[in-house]
Structure 1
Amino acid sequence: MGSLLQKWNSISLVKRILAGLVIGAILGKAIPNIAVIALLGDLFVGALKGVAPILVFFLVMSSLAQHKKGAKTNMGTVIALYLIGTFSAAVVAVIASFMFPVTLTLTDIATEASAPPDGVGTVIKTLLLNVVQNPIASLSTANYIGILAWAVVFGLALKHSSDHTKTMLGNFADAVSQAVRWVISFAPFGILGLVYATVSTSGLGIFTDYGKLLLVLVGCMAVVALVVNPLIVFLNIKQNPYPLVFKCLKDSFITAFFTRSSAANIPVNMTLCESLGLDEDNYSVSIPLGATINMAGAAITITVMALAAVNTLGYTVDIGTAVVLSVVAAVSACGASGVAGGSLLLIPLACSLFGISNDIAMQVVGVGFIIGVVQDSCETGLNSSTDALFTAAAEFRQWKKQGKPIKW
């Protein structure tokens, strides 16, 4: 058994995940609706979601507590990249929607019971209230805004604590990180279960229904992942960005695609940053922050779906309104929840710019839930892989200035 496990672990994790993906798809078509197989996916996602809040809390708190005065940080650059990337994605979505206009067949589609926000002010208010939520409640509900805020508060408060206390915090952070590595080692089985459940319930028909809408959405995300993001990275590190881009897509996009949760993919991105040799003091803060505000995929979804509603109703959109929509979509995306389908309930906010009624907007949200198997998976993969990409780009930019060679 020991030698078998050793051989299993010697195989690349990506290859094991791809094997799980293929096996899950085959089983989903051959013997659908076996609960035990689908349970593997639920267990994997549940474990990631369970450990991620604790990981974020201890890593951020420990890194801030042990941060030495005068030591350089690149958080300003990371945040700037996050905001530029999200706004650029919204612009790409606007351009694509003008070039390839999409209309929808709107019917009385059942939607989830959650109520959408009724304005940008509501989104900002919710964000601020999440910041001051009870820290225990934030951990239990995976409120990453609250977790980050309280981790920063406690980390700064512990900066002047004794070395023993700081060592203990570091040990806790290391222990949680090790637990995360154990969870991630089960990713192939989790992906197998997730793919099996998707193929069993939706089959391949989801790729043909609403095909044009999916093509525009996925096409925009592909342009951002393979053109816009590499350009942003190149402007920062002044060398070929594609090896780094493809590594982030390979190591982060795949798991995020199937877990459909930026929050659940935080441990995966932490491991990716560690493999790139990045500074833990930086990525332990920037990765969870990215899972909260770096939402290029969400900006694309909000923009394309809102403009599809506009086209369906025959409204005319001028350039000025399109620019405003890009800004609103980018700001709204930053407030999107880091869970599956988190961006869809922000579509009515963008629709309100054009005077579209909430009833019609919620039908558009319903269409979003129908295509969510593909759309939300691609959106989350783009969001999460970009967190690691921009974190690495910001640090590599710093390395470049210091004359340190960049390797990945």
Structure 2
Amino acid sequence: MKKLLRLYLRTSLVLRILVGFIVGSLIGVLFWTLSRSPGATVPQTVIGYITPFGQVFVHMLKMIVVPIIFFSLVVGASSLPIRKFGHIGLKTLGWYLLTSVLAAVLGTALALALDPGAGADLDAWRLLADGKTTEVHEIAEDIPEEGALSQILLNLFRNPFEALAAGNFLPIIVFAILFGLAIRVSIEAGDALRVKRLETLVDLLEACRDAMFELVDWILEYSPIGVLALSIVNFGLYGPSIVGPYVRVTLGVVCGIAAMVFVVYPMLLWAVTRRNPFGVLRRIKEPMIMAFITRSSAATLPVSIKTAEEELRIHNELASFSLPLGATINMDGVCVHLPMFAVLAANLFDVPLTLGALVVLVMTTVLSSIGAGGVPGGSLMLLFIILESMGLSAEQVAVIVALALGINPILDMFETMNNVTGDLVCSYAVASNENLIQSDSAKINDA
């Protein structure tokens, strides 16, 4: 038994995760197939026993997300000189906005090319939406009445303790950055005694952050088991959901995300760094896989920060600022995903898509993606914003959202992987441009 345990621990973590995903997927599809038989209850019963092992893994990741965001952002904001922080912050936001626009344009172009729902029988699609009306109403109730943009602005400034307890990321990020900047300003303007106290505080926060990263290592050792359980549950409940009438929608989203990850990001990286972009992608495969399984940018954040610092060699002051920010506002996968359902809705309900309407669609997609939330299924809420901006009625919106619910668990995997990849790529591009990569980064180029 000890020999098996040593062999397990010596095996690459990525390999263990991949094996867990493949084995779990096969078992899940088998359970899904068996559950189709009349009167079959055993597969669903077994899945019920397996579910907690996957949920525990996601909960463990979420347990450490909030403290990692807080400690990392405060340390990052307090480590950079004020002028440099402003410059890097604007450049990071610019990169996130650029990739989101590219993703929205790509998603819209693919949606127009594939034309999902063209010539389809609306009654047949309505049948697919049956059984999802309750979930649609629940999602609709969570949409803030104030509107997406105003709600985001209001949500930036909340009671920090309430936000920490609720895991509300935007106000945590704002408070942590402001707190870190206040420390930095005080250090730059204070007397010797005051500076010494503040530097002691920064050292304490760094120690807390380092302890959280050690906790990440412990959780990652459990990750193959969690991935195995999550894969069994996901595929056991939904099966090969990307068949039948959903094929064209799914094909468009998956192709768009593949183009972002393997074409757009490498081109941007090469243009900025002049290094082998696929070497960078190989080094971030662990958070990419984790994002695919957990379907949560926020839950993957601890792994993303660890990978950025240890594999990409990005300085902590940048990684601890850009990645928590990206997990909240940079949702490239959402920008690929939403236009596909918008074009589907236009075809089903005869909504004309003029050039002006397409420009509005791209802009609305980019702006609304900021509120996706970094959690599983966060993009579903944004569908209401996109579809209502097209002038659809409440009933029509409900049909499209119900259709999206049917396939969302599968699409969400690819979408979240795209989001996390975009965060790391943008952070690496900014780090290269600002000379915030440690000297042994040549390894990335040769990888």
- If the TM-score is normalised by the length of the shorter chain, which range does it land in? over 0.9
Matches within 5 A, 1:174-185: 174-185=210-221
Which residue of 81, 85, 89 corresponds with 2:103?
A: 89
Offset of 1:219 from its aligned partner? Answer: 1.3
1:262 is aligned to 297
Amino acid at match of 1:289: L
Offset of 1:365 from its aligned partner? Answer: 1.1
Q: Say which SS state the counterpart of residue 264 (structure 1) adopts.
A: helix
TM-score (norm 2): 0.85
Amino acid at match of 1:300: V
CA separation in 2, counterparts of 1:71 and 1:80? 15
1:272 is aligned to 307
Amino acid at match of 2:181: L
Contact map agreement 1:102 1:212 (CA 8 A) in 2: yes
Offset of 1:360 from its aligned partner? Answer: 0.9
CA separation in 2, counterparts of 1:176 and 1:282? 18
Residues 403/164 of structure 1: CA separation in 2 closer, same or farther (3 Å cut)? closer
Contact map agreement 2:318 2:436 (CA 8 A) in 1: no
CA separation in 2, counterparts of 1:396 and 1:364? 42
2:58 is aligned to 45
Offset of 1:61 from its aligned partner? Answer: 1.0
Offset of 1:400 from its aligned partner? Answer: 9.7
Residues 405/214 of structure 1: CA separation in 2 closer, same or farther (3 Å cut)? closer
Offset of 1:41 from its aligned partner? Answer: 0.8
1:75 partnered with 2:89: yes
Contact map agreement 1:276 1:407 (CA 8 A) in 2: no
Q: Say which SS state the counterpart of residue 39 (structure 1) adopts.
A: helix
Which residue of 119, 123, 131 corresponds with 2:156?
A: 131
1:307 partnered with 2:343: yes
Q: Say which SS state the counterpart of residue 256 (structure 1) adopts.
A: helix
Offset of 1:402 from its aligned partner? Answer: 11
Residues 45/207 of structure 1: CA separation in 2 closer, same or farther (3 Å cut)? farther
The CA deviation string for residues 223-252 of structure 1, in whole angstroms up to 9 with x for no partner, is 11111222222221133322213433x222
Offset of 1:209 from its aligned partner? Answer: 5.0
Which is richer in helix?
2
Offset of 1:75 from its aligned partner? Answer: 3.0
Which residue of 212, 226, 230 corresponds with 1:190?
A: 226
Contact map agreement 1:74 1:394 (CA 8 A) in 2: yes
Q: Say which SS state the counterpart of residue 352 (structure 2) adopts.
A: coil
CA separation in 2, counterparts of 1:399 and 1:180? 27
1:204 partnered with 2:245: no
The size of the alignment, in residue pairs, is: 406
2:434 is aligned to 398
Amino acid at match of 2:160: P
CA separation in 2, counterparts of 1:263 and 1:402? 26
CA separation in 1, counterparts of 2:99 and 2:91? 12
2:191 is aligned to none
1:32 is aligned to 43
Which residue of 252, 255, 263 corresponds with 1:216?
A: 252
CA separation in 1, counterparts of 2:163 and 2:62? 13
Amino acid at match of 2:308: C
Matches within 5 A, 1:3-402: 4-28=4-28, 29=30, 32-33=43-44, 34=46, 35-68=48-81, 74-103=88-117, 105-106=125-126, 107-108=129-130, 109-110=132-133, 111-112=135-136, 113-115=138-140, 117=143, 122-159=147-184, 160=187, 161=195, 162=197, 163-248=199-284, 250-274=285-309, 275-399=311-435
Contact map agreement 1:301 1:344 (CA 8 A) in 2: no
The CA deviation string for residues 97-152 of structure 1, in whole angstroms up to 9 with x for no partner, is 21110116134542341326589x71122212221121112112211111101111
Amino acid at match of 1:193: A
Offset of 1:263 from its aligned partner? Answer: 0.6
Contact map agreement 1:299 1:329 (CA 8 A) in 2: yes
Q: Say which SS state the counterpart of residue 258 (structure 2) adopts.
A: helix
Residues 178/404 of structure 1: CA separation in 2 closer, same or farther (3 Å cut)? closer
Amino acid at match of 2:151: T
CA separation in 2, counterparts of 1:76 and 1:5? 47
CA separation in 2, counterparts of 1:272 and 1:299? 25
Contact map agreement 1:118 1:349 (CA 8 A) in 2: no
Amino acid at match of 2:101: F
Q: Percent identity over the alignment?
A: 29
TM-score (norm 1): 0.92
Q: Say which SS state the counterpart of residue 276 (structure 2) adopts.
A: coil
Amino acid at match of 1:373: P
Contact map agreement 1:65 1:156 (CA 8 A) in 2: yes
Gaps of at least 5 residues in structure 1 are none
CA separation in 1, counterparts of 2:6 and 2:427? 32
Contact map agreement 1:53 1:142 (CA 8 A) in 2: yes
Q: Say which SS state the counterpart of residue 139 (structure 2) adopts.
A: coil
Higher alpha-carbon deviation: 58-67 or 135-144: 58-67
CA separation in 2, counterparts of 1:42 and 1:151? 28
Contact map agreement 1:399 1:405 (CA 8 A) in 2: no
Amino acid at match of 2:73: V
Amino acid at match of 1:285: F
CA separation in 2, counterparts of 1:401 and 1:277? 5
